[in-house]
Amino acid sequence: MTALAPPTGRVRGARERVFGHTGDPHPLMHVDWLLVAVTFAITALGLAMIYSATNSITEVNDLGRMHYVSRQAMALGIGVVAMIVAASFDYRRFRELWPVAYGLVIPLLIAVRFVGTGQGGTTAWFDVGPMQFQPSEIAKLAIILAVAGYCHAHRGELDAWRLAVAVTVAGIAMGLTMLQNDLGTMLVMGACTIGILYVAGLRFVHLLVLFLLAASCLVGLLVTDTFNAYRLERLTGFVTQDRVEDATAATDTEYNLQQSKDAIANGGFWGQGFGEGPLTQNGFVPEQHTDFIFTAVGEELGFVGAASLLGLYGILAWRIWRTAMLSQDFQGTLICIGVLAVFVFQIFENAGMTMGIMPITGIPLPFVSYGGSALIAYLAAIGLVINVHMRRFS
């Protein structure tokens, strides 16, 4: 594998600075195996939890017991390929090529608005044979590459005009995502954009302006018809949650949240045991194999299991953050920060909503929730981080 990095302008990594670099610069020698291991450990746990959480849904719909698990495993296979591809390519090529990736994704986002299918008011994916392809998941990667690439090109000189360009680049993809009614994914895109811009040297005043902009956009959405009542109710459900005394008077969202919290609480410290959680096994938590899979972990594996999962995510975040620190160049740092922001935002939002501390939005728990496109995109994102990590000396 030949690195096509420019020979000059190389920034030395932290470790190299401290210990001095004596090792082989070949990238394959510097793959972050801990990151890889943690990624697959979480994915394996995800497969197990999908199996457990689909007991009821497969029986009721007369599907095979492995229906969802096998599809997810298929996506995992594709994802591993995607990860290797994402790692193989020298990420520094995206300094110039990010518009290509971005240009490929935008038409998909437009197309899905018209020919896509979805649920709960969204039109977020294409049906591809038995699988579904959700372009907004890939779009997250495109935004990371685009914003990181743009900011890297103008590092140190991120004035208001260039900031506006960067925000527009991300904003177009975000707006298209919002047109699919996919608020959650849009928020993830926003979080990762702000994360990259922040590390890229965004000035505090501009950050403040950005937050005001985002807030007014949100308020604007809330008062328009585009944002249907169902979405609004789901968003605000977590605010009203404790006021619900009478179960029959609860709205769908409140019911959803109550079942979700009950399932987690039912896990206790040690959990009910894998395949033994009554609410999980009997399908009491709606959307449990996708957005609410954290409740299956909570009920069946208990505090021990859920905290361990958060611990694995912690290691994942640490390794990504560390890669950001070690990166050979600023572009790599920004890519890693983007990936980190995506994961952390999703983990916090997803786990948080199941526990009632965040509003309910339809975003998956990385590597664990059922959903092929997302898994493939996340593995590709890890691939990017590995890419940065293993090229830190070359």
Partner 1 sequence: MTDHSRVRISIVGVVVVSLFGALLTRLWFLQVDTSATEIATEIDQRSNRTVYYETPRGWIYDRRGREIVRNRVTWVLKIDRRLTGDQQEQAIARLSELLDVPRADIEERLADPRISPLEDAVIKVDVPDAIRTEISEHREQYPYIQIEQAAVREYPHGEALAPVLGYIGRVNQDDLDRHPDEYGARDSIGRSGIEAAMESQLRGRRASETVSINPAGQIIGDPLKADPGEAGRDVYLTIDLDWQKQVEASLAEGIAVARRTQNHDVEDLFVTFRAPSAAAVVIDVRTGEVRAMASLPSYDPEEFVAGVSERRWKVLTDEEGNPLFNRATKSTLAPGSTFKLMTSIAAVTSDVRSSSTLFPNTPCYANVSGDQHQEFCNAGRSGNGEMLDMRAALASSSDVYYYSIGDLLWGHWKAGDEERGDSIQRVARDYGFGEKTGIEIGEVAGRVPDAQWRFDYTHAQADAGVEPYAGNVNEWDDWNPADNINLSVGQGDMIASPLQLANAYAAFANGGRLMRPTLIQDVRDVDEVVRTTEPVVRRALPELSITDEQAIWNGLVGAIDEGTAQRAFAGFPFAEVPIAGKTGTAQRGTDYPGCATVEPPKTPADVEHCIGDTSWFVGISSVTDPRYVVVVMVEEGGFGGDIAAPIARQIFEKIYGLGITPIPDAARGSDAR
- Given the rule CB under 8 A, which residues bind partner 1? 11, 55-56, 59-60, 156, 195, 198-201, 259, 261-262, 264-269, 278-279, 281-284, 298, 302-303, 306-307, 310, 313-314, 317, 321, 324-325, 327, 330, 333, 337, 340-341, 344, 347-348, 351-352, 355, 357
Query: 213, 191, 240: which is closest to 360 by C-alpha?
Result: 240
- What CA–CA distance (Å, rounded) separates 119 from 52? 23
- What CA–CA distance (Å, rounded) separates 231 from 193? 23
- Please state the closest distance from residue 286 (CB atom) to partner 1, in A: 8
Toward partner 1, which CB reaches closer, 105 or 140?
Answer: 140
**What number of other Cβ atoms are within 10 A of residue 151's Cβ?**
26
Toward partner 1, which CB reaches closer, 56 or 123?
Answer: 56
Toward partner 1, which CB reaches closer, 170 or 337?
Answer: 337
- Please state the closest distance from residue 392 (CB atom) to partner 1, in A: 12
Toward partner 1, which CB reaches closer, 140 or 152?
Answer: 152
CA-based end-to-end distance of the chain: 11
Instruction: Write out the two tokens for 202.
Output: 């965004």
- What CA–CA distance (Å, rounded) separates 230 from 228? 5
Q: Is the dihedral of CA 297, 300, 303, 305 positive or negative?
A: negative
**Tokens 């585009």 correspond to what residue?**
226
**What number of other Cβ atoms are within 10 A of residue 210's Cβ?**
18
- Please state the closest distance from residue 56 (CB atom) to partner 1, in A: 5
Instruction: Write out the two tokens for 84.
Output: 């290797």
Toward partner 1, which CB reaches closer, 116 or 302?
Answer: 302
- What CA–CA distance (Å, rounded) separates 160 from 163? 5
Toward partner 1, which CB reaches closer, 145 or 365?
Answer: 365
Query: 376, 338, 336: which is closest to 32 by C-alpha?
Result: 336
Toward partner 1, which CB reaches closer, 122 or 259?
Answer: 259
- Please state the closest distance from residue 225 (CB atom) to partner 1, in A: 31
Q: What is the DSSP letter of 290?
A: T
- Please state the closest distance from residue 246 (CB atom) to partner 1, in A: 15
- What CA–CA distance (Å, rounded) separates 102 from 98? 6
- Please state the closest distance from residue 129 (CB atom) to partner 1, in A: 29
- 125, with CB counted inside 10 A (0-12, 13-18, 19+), is buried
- Please state the closest distance from residue 24 (CB atom) to partner 1, in A: 23
Toward partner 1, which CB reaches closer, 186 or 316?
Answer: 316
- Please state the closest distance from residue 41 (CB atom) to partner 1, in A: 17
What amino acid is encoded at 358 in this protein?
Answer: M
- Please state the closest distance from residue 295 (CB atom) to partner 1, in A: 10
Measured CA to CA in angstroms, residue 147 lies from 159, 160, 376 at distances of: 14, 15, 21
Measured CA to CA in angstroms, residue 205 lies from 43, 170, 331, 342 at distances of: 40, 20, 23, 24
Toward partner 1, which CB reaches closer, 122 or 299?
Answer: 299
Query: 316, 324, 288, 281: which is closest to 42 by C-alpha?
Result: 316
- Please state the closest distance from residue 353 (CB atom) to partner 1, in A: 11
42 alpha carbon, distance to own chain's centre: 14
Toward partner 1, which CB reaches closer, 43 or 281?
Answer: 281
Query: 291, 348, 388, 383: which is closest to 40 by C-alpha?
Result: 383
